[in-house]
Amino acid sequence: MTRPFPQEFLFGAATAAYQIEGAAFEDGRTASIWDAFARVPGAVINGDDGDVACDHYHRYPQDVALMKELGLQTYRFSTSWSRVRPDGGAVNEKGVDFYSRLVDELLDAGIVPWLTLYHWDMPQALEAQGGWTSRDTVDRFLEYAGTMHDALGDRVRYWTTLNEPWCSSFLSYTAGIHAPGRMDVGDGMLAAHHLLLAHGKTVQELRSRDSSLDLGVTLNLTVADPADPDAPGDVDAARRIDGQFNRWFLDPIFRGAYPADVIRDFRTVDSSAVARWEQAVQPGDMEAISSPLDAFGVNYYHGELLAGTAPAEEPPAGDAPTERAVASPFPSHEGIHWVERGLPRTGMGWEVQPEGLTRLLQRVGPEYAPGIPLYVTENGAAYDDVREGDTVPDADRTAFLVAHVSAVRDAIDAGVDVRGYFYWSLLDNYEWAWGYEKRFGIVRVEYDTQERVVKDSGLQYARIIAARAV
């Protein structure tokens, strides 16, 4: 039996500028933090960079035609700060014109453009001045956002401020796994706050310009479950992961305050880092960060089953540090163990857990965003595809896609206002620290020739879209 989707539901796919555009230093574009990071020995598998990627900068008409062939109703893409305002400075008209032409191409094809302002590619010149640890970067981001609205506000309705600020703060400034590759607890906390502040101030600015825009943000979220719900250590492990991964961003955006328990956790890791962060949070910041939204994007790839050591008693008043194991602000969480469940795994080693997406949407909607439409802005899987002639039979990805689209339908059946699903990704592309080794696309890209081949998963997605049912 097939289940239809609501009439207003949008089916789409997503990409990011640095991952597909190429043309890294053409037409006035200058280096982003990823251009610099990709050239650090050992930072990226095989030393790959995104200088060419999928050559989308030159091939966008072909790619838009492919989207139309698949039946996509909407396309989520990001704009490159380094292309639009090179080095964070004056406007580069050639860079702006590229996105104007892309938007026109999408509209001519009947595809709704969904613009993300920041998908991790800050100009390297701004990073040299402090990057997201500097409050001045917020002002530079507002200038960039205003430039994009000046150019595209008449044709683009949906605007996402940030993609996955957890990655562009903690993975990037504390864990050193993503650009710019810093490894400092305090830097990660400062980056997270300034990213959120840039989000909030951009929402305020764009709304003051045009109240008809749909303004939102995208967070990558997880489902953190205790291995034993009756074991205090396991329950605390799930709390810590949920707190640092989910609630550190959800609470400021929707409740106007950072979660107190996570502040305590951070204080035990590095009290001086918390002191730096507290000085950075200025009057009015939380009001800006919690500016009302029109849409909320959820990125989901997998959940976690967690075990941990038993926590000590609750911290005393005043957030005084305790001796118990706490979550560090990056993935090597002390005292936490990830439990194997026997679930299938993707080529990234991530568990396939579609029911986690249903539960996540059921939680986020009522608990954080009542009355705000939810969109699954990324969901996908990497597998080791093998091309067979003119076909790419990717049965595992096809099953992943169907299962997760079904999980979204389950959430709708449960009463959650979910209005869209974007598969990650339209194309095989440059996958950050993994270079070109991991393939997420429903369209295969032969990187040596730039040939595009629709995979079986892409054909299946086209059938789902055409039927508007799963």
**The amino acid at 158:** Y
CA distances (Å), origin 53, targets 15, 22, 31, 38, 223: 12, 5, 15, 12, 32
Q: How far is C-alpha 247 from the geometric centre of its chain's CA atoms? A: 15
Query: Does the annotation count 164 as an active-site position?
Result: yes
Output the six-digit token pair for 144: 């960039």
Tell me 228's DSSP state: S
Of 105, 351, 378, 431, which residue is the catalytic one? 378
Query: Is the separation of the CB atoms in 305 and 296 below 8 Å?
Result: no
Query: Does the annotation count 378 as an active-site position?
Result: yes
Closest CA to 21 of 42, 11, 36, 35: 35
Of 21, 105, 127, 164, which residue is the catalytic one? 164
Tell me phi and psi for residue 355, to 5 degrees: -65, -25
Closest CA to 249 of 293, 205, 214: 293
Tell me 87's DSSP state: G
First-to-last alpha carbon distance for the chain, in angstroms, is: 8
DSSP string, 315-380: PPTTT---SS----SSS--TTEEEPP----B-TTS-B--HHHHHHHHHHHHHHH-TTS-EEEEE--
Give the three-state DSSP class for 408.
helix
What is the set of active-site residues? 164, 378
